[in-house]
Amino acid sequence: MSRPAFALSLFALAACAGCYGDTGIKLAVTPDHASLFGQTDVTITGDFAALGDVDYFSVAGVQVGNPRWSPSSVTVTLQGAPRPGRYDIVIRGSRGLTIQHGLFTYDPPPK
């Protein structure tokens, strides 16, 4: 599958999943908000073993950077978002997909 076709199918899946609420394993994020400009480390906990080998991981539709895995958590570096607001976390593995809507917030820039 080409990259554009893959991206479109993932977007369609995420959009469709939004019609039905969260799907997959339950996640918790610490901290649950950060600067709009990114370069912030956050730790996400959940039953990642249920997902299998992870091949896609994004916050606000942007791939996370530098994932550091442990058995029940992953610490990642967020890249930022185009505008402030609540965003989804999407993680796809060989055995499943989780989409958690509005789980992370990018804060507006300070005034």
The yes-or-no verdict on residue 101 having pLDDT over 90 is yes
Residue 39 CA: distances (Å) to CA of 8, 42, 80: 27, 10, 7
Q: What is the mean pLDDT of the chain?
A: 86
Where helices occur in the chain by DSSP H, the ranges are: 3-18
Better-scored residue on pLDDT, 29 or 12: 29
pLDDT of residue 110: 87
